[in-house]
Amino acid sequence: MDINSVYETIENVKSDIQSVSTKDDLEEFRLKYLVRRGIIQQMFEGIKSASPEERPQLGKALNELRQTAQTLFDEKKRELEQSRTLTADKLDLTIPGRRRPIGTKHPVTQALDDMTTIFKSMGFAVALGPEIEDDFHNFEALNFPADHPARDMQDTFFLDETALLRTHTSPVQVRIMMNQKPPIRHIMPGRVYRNEAISARSYCMFHQLEGLAVDENITFAELKGTLATFAKKFFGSGVKYVFRPSFFPFTEPSAEMDISCFLCNGKGCRVCKQTGWLEILGCGMVDPNVLKAVGYDPEKVTGYAFGMGVDRTALLLYGIDDIRMLYENDVRLLNQFS
C-alpha cells in the first residue's frame, strides 16, 4: 500500500456515494467502507508494513479518507431521511388509491332544481334577472308607490340613491312583460336580499321561485289548478291544500296557499305551530296597475303570479330546524345530501 492507493480510494468513496439512492444502497456503502472489517480499517492495518518514513504521510491520508467517507455517509443519510426515500421501499403500489371526495348539491339547490323541473313540465320557461335593481323595477312598476306602507314589509338593502339589492324576483316579471308580448308563462328562480334580523327562521339572503302567466282569459281557477298540481308533485299526491285570502300590492285578489303538515300528517306539531297546516306560497291575479305599468291593456289580458321561498321549503322537506345551518357550510350536514 502506498499514498497513491489511499487517494484513489478517496475518489472511489466519492464516486460510490453518488450512486446511493435508497436505504439498502446506503447500508452497502457503510459495510464496504466504515465497519471494522471494511476497506478503510484494512488500509489502516496495512500501515504496519510501510517503512517508518512513509507512515506519517499514510496515517494523515488515511485519516482524511475515513473523515471523508464518514462525512459523505452522514450527509447522504440526512438527505434520504428528508426526502423520505428511506421508506419508499415500504410502499405497496398495488393498494388502491384514495378516492377523492365527490361534492353534492346543496339542499337548497336540490329543492330549487326539483321545483324548476315540475314547473317546466307544465310549460313554464325559466327567466333570470339582475340581483342589483332600481326602484322602478323592484317597487314602482309592481304597484308600490313611493309612500306606500307596503314598502315597509320588505326591509331593503340600498346601495345608493338609485340602486338596491332586489327584495324579490318580481322585477324579472316586469322586465319580461316590458320586452315581450303575451302569452307569457315563466318562472323566475334566484337569490333575494332583505335587511332582516338573522334567526332560526329568517336570513338576510334567501332564494325565491316566482311564476307568471299572462294571456287572454286567464282565471283564478287556472292559478289554483297550477299550484295544486305543483303541490301534489312536490310534496306527494296525498297532500291537502287550502287557499286563504291575503294582500299583496301587485296582485288582486291575493291569496296564500297552505298545505297539510306532512311532518305530523295534519295532527299538529312544533313546526306547524299545532295547526296542522304549513304556508308555502303567496299568489294572486296580476293587479291591473301592474299591467298598465308595463304597457299591457288590462281590458284585453289577465294574468296570475305566485312566489315561494325555497329555503324554508327545503327546511320543511329535509327536516332541518335552523335556516342558518344552510349557510354555515358544515360538511356534516351537506354530506347527508350526497
Distance CA 41, CA 152 (A): 96
Mean pLDDT throughout 288-317? 92
- DSSP H stretches of helix in 19-106: 23-33, 39-45, 55-83
Beta strands in the chain (DSSP E): 125-126, 132-134, 163-165, 184-193, 205-215, 241-248, 251-260, 277-286, 302-309
What does the pLDDT look like over 121-173, one tens digit per residue?
A: 999 999 999 999 998 998 888 888 777 665 666 688 889 888 999 999 999 99
Mean pLDDT throughout 97-119? 88
Q: What pLDDT, on a 0 to 100 scale, did the predictor assign at position 149?
A: 66
What does the pLDDT look like over 193-212, one tens digit per residue?
A: 988 888 877 888 999 999 99
Q: What pLDDT, on a 0 to 100 scale, did the predictor assign at position 86?
A: 44
What does the pLDDT look like over 10-22, one tens digit per residue?
A: 888 899 999 998 8
Domain ranges in the chain with CATH number 3.30.930.10: 107-337
Residue type, 294: V
Pairing type for strands 163-165 and 125-126 reads unpaired
What superfamily does domain 107-337 belong to in CATH? Answer: Bira Bifunctional Protein; Domain 2 (3.30.930.10)
Residue 222: CA count within 13 A, CB half-sphere: 16
Mean pLDDT throughout 252-278? 82
Q: Identify which of 290, 287, 263, 288 has the alpha carbon closest to the alpha carbon of residue 277.
A: 263
Task: Give this prediction's pTM.
Answer: 0.67
Task: Look over the chain and give the mean of its residue pLDDT values, rounded to a whole number.
Answer: 87
Please say if the pLDDT value at position 3 is more than 80: yes
Sorting pLDDT into bands at 50, 70 and 90, what band is 308? very high
At 160, is the secondary structure helix, strand, or coil?
A: coil
